[in-house]
Copies of this chain bind each other. A is one copy, B any other.
Amino acid sequence: MQRLSDAGIQVFAERGYHAARVDDIVRAAHTSHGTFYLYFANKEDLLRALTVDCAEALFQLSNSLDVIDGQLDFSRLRGFLTEFLAIYRRYGVVIRAWMEGQVADRKVARLGVKAFTRIAARLAERIEESGAAQAVDATASVSALMAMLERFNYAVSSRNLDLDDDVTMDTLTLIVQRGFFGATV
């Protein structure tokens, strides 16, 4: 079942959710069609299971934001962004699948959006605490930030941009710190 989940992520990432065939997945998992339907009701059910995993990871990340009281300094922000992108690196396709309404079951989409909303709320709180809230609207900022992070990992990993990972993270953190938190380093 773990093999099937992993194979699902892999094949969804390679082909996209709709283009991914159950046959591709079971072949990647070195198992059979019958086994797939032993653990999942159907293809969308696999997506739902992956969404639950992803939401769980996002919730844990939002918890880690809670412990930050004062303000997000460079290294803390960098840590958050790194973790966030790690989740994205794994669950990118899954996230896009429910973001883009490719899923019939609304509950699945709601589950994912809820996890995102929670992270956004925690981030907005930190932005407000940082005192940069006057300049840019916190809610709009977070929306932009999330959008940027959502896409950034994908852009870097799928296009062959020759960006060193460390430089990328430093640059990204700087942009976020200045753009969203108003810090002028």
Contacts and interface: CB of A to CB of B under 8 A. Distances in A.
B140 A171 contact: yes
A143 to B, nearest CB: 5
A166 to B, nearest CB: 11
A151 B141 contact: no
Contacts of A16: 18, 100-102
Interface string A141-171: 1011011101110111011010100011001
A140 B158 contact: no
A178 interface: yes
B151 A147 contact: yes
B152 A144 contact: yes
A109 B102 CA distance: 22
A113 interface: yes
A179 B77 CA distance: 14
Contacts of A158: 99-101
A148 B140 contact: no
Interface stretch (A49-57, A60-68, A131-139): A131-139
A140 B167 contact: yes
A172 interface: yes
A41 interface: no
A46 interface: no
Interface string A104-148: 000000000100000000000000000000011101110110111
A100 B155 CA distance: 9
A143 B148 CA distance: 10
A124 B63 CA distance: 37
Contacts of A2: none
A25 to B, nearest CB: 16
